[in-house]
Chains A and B, each alone.
Chain A
Amino acid sequence: MTEEIIIAGFGGQGVLSMGKILAYSGIMQDEEVSWMPSYGPEMRGGTANVTVILSDERISSPYLKVYDTAIILNQQSMDKFEESVKPGGVLIYEPNGIHHHPTRTDIDIYQIEANRIATEMGNKKIFNMVVLGAYLKIKPIVKLENVIEGLKKSLPERYHHLIPLNEEAIAKGTQSIVSYKVEKQVLS
């Protein structure tokens, strides 16, 4: 099994840390992992993205052109990465702030309203964990218990009391992801 993922959005949305938690979860179940961020000035206020690979084989290139899954959290990233999903692959996006919805018909597309859910839960910072939960519903590549272990590893000790909240956010994301049909977009 090899899963190649791009997570892309605004700096501050927790894109990099979501990737890190996913990578740590992979380590917890003995996978090979790589986490390759975009780095530099574009991280401040602009877009941030990270390529995460989980595999049961030695990972060759940590930098890719096409992905099994794209998790897209803003319009710029949609413009950049919709075409980078492999045919038959998965695109998950947060529709808030998206003006041009995806149009491809050769991939599976899903929406997760993570902004709304995180706001309803009273903590916008768990936005990325809602998205992670949504992703794991579609691609259950890591077990929930390993995600929790991954959280413990990647969060400083002083934030460990927030792990139950993160777990709840993951569960909400898992329950709330919906399939998106391109036809509807064309008709409306």
Chain B
Amino acid sequence: MSEIKLMKGNEALAEAAIRVGADAYFGYPITPQSEVIEYLMSEKPEERTGMVVLQAESEVAAINMVYGAASTGKKVMTSSSSPGISLKLEGISYLAGAELPAVIVNVVRGGPGLGTIQPSQADYNQAVKGGGHGDYKLYVLAPASVQEMADFVEDAFDIAFKYRAPVMILSDGLIGQMMEKVSFKDQMERLSDKEIIKRYDDWAVTGKTERKRNIITSLDLQPEKMEARVGRLMDKYKRMEKEDLRFEKIECDDAEYLFVAYGSSARIAQKAVKLAREKGLKVGLLRPITLFPYPKQQLFELADQVKGILSVELNTGQMVEDVRLAVEHKVPVEHFGRTGGIIHTPEEVLEALEQKIINEHGRTRHHKTRESSIL
């Protein structure tokens, strides 16, 4: 480990991209993630490691450059914020279909449309439920600190190459813009072309030699072949669920009530846990670190222990649907979150738990009606 630095989340992510030996970054600036490309440009990674950093003419161009570079077995990354990710979705679907490894970073801002440049978690559904067209999923990592913005770059590339699949780091304006302590691993060497051929010769387009031709495409007009391809993708996602699920339990052992929150909301909810315990309320926090795969089984089991669950998200209620699916109506599940770029305070989060779960359901312990689950 090297010296401790004070950095913004976006800068830490950019530095980590250089350190893990990424071959290329293609991007286009947008608030609140522009520090990623600003930092990469100012660090001159072409001098440090030979890494290519290019500002493309648009987000669409950037994601297609990612497709091209990933086809050759290179470690390649792009980043943007919400409206820019919408533009990249076609390319992301193609990456998934063509089974290419790549890392895509979304530093989420409020939407829909151009929305706001302030923090939001309103792209949960887009990240987790596909977003682009077709039967595919992204492995989604949700950092909750500047250190994780750095650490998850390496983790994301590991997963991307393990499964030959695009991986998303789903951050937000709060984690991207805040500064915290961060330390980095030592510089990893970029793979040589020889090493890439050795490792990925069975699929990557590295220049044909004696081997059979490798073709990168997401197109299969023969139904049986296409169904086999989709099946192969589903097998990967099942394996991700089995082998690469990540979550963190905070004060869950004796919890009677539970927050579920990821990313910036998890940090805020963690403080709400502390405030609750100061008041004598036994509250815990389940933080999904991966949003796909999702800690379904852990939630299912916690539902036997707690009296109610509040899903805390900077949106109008997206992840709460997955919490409800996991819990299977064993206990009441409600949502709380602010939008428009307003960030909920720990006090507000605790108040929401008291109002929506403890007071509302504490009296009757009955499941709520169908109507009340509609926003």
Give me the interface of A with B, judged by CB distance under 8 Å: 20, 23-24, 27, 32-37, 39-41, 59-66, 153-154
Contacts and interface: CB of A to CB of B under 8 A. Distances in A.
Contacts of A63: 174, 264, 267-268, 343, 345
- Top 7 closest pairs, chain A to chain B, by CB: A61-B271, A65-B345, A60-B270, A35-B179, A60-B271, A61-B268, A36-B178
A23 B180 CA distance: 8
Given A61-B271, A64-B345, A65-B348, A36 B177 contact: yes
Interface residues of B, number: 26
B180 A34 contact: yes
Contacts of B4: 27
B267 A60 contact: yes
Nearest to B348: A65
Contacts of A34: 178-180
26 contacts: A23-B6, A24-B6, A27-B4, A27-B181, A33-B179, A33-B180, A34-B180, A35-B178, A36-B177, A37-B178, A39-B32, A40-B31, A40-B32, A60-B273, A60-B274, A61-B271, A61-B346, A62-B174, A62-B180, A63-B174, A63-B268, A63-B343, A63-B345, A64-B345, A65-B347, A154-B6
Contacts of A153: 6
A33 B118 CA distance: 22
A23 B6 CA distance: 8
The CB with the most chain A CB atoms within 10 A, among B4, B181, B273, is that of B181
Contact of A39 (B173, B180, B267): B173
B267 A62 contact: yes
B110 to A, nearest CB: 11
B352 interface: no
Contacts of A62: 174, 178, 180, 267
Contact of A20 (B6, B32, B268, B345): B6
B179 A23 contact: yes
Interface of B: 4, 6, 31-32, 117-118, 173-174, 177-181, 264, 267-268, 270-274, 343, 345-348
A27 B348 CA distance: 30
Contact of B181 (A33, A37, A154): A33
Contacts of B272: 61
A36 B267 CA distance: 13
Contact of B346 (A23, A37, A41, A65): A65
Given A24-B6, A63-B343, A65-B348, A32 B181 contact: yes
A179 to B, nearest CB: 29
A35 B177 CA distance: 9
Contacts of A61: 267-268, 270-272, 345-346
Nearest to A51: B178
A43 B88 CA distance: 29
Contacts of A64: 271, 345-346
A100 to B, nearest CB: 24
B118 A40 contact: yes
B271 A39 contact: no
Contacts of B180: 33-35, 59, 62
A32 B179 CA distance: 11
A23 to B, nearest CB: 6
Nearest to A30: B4
A170 B261 CA distance: 41
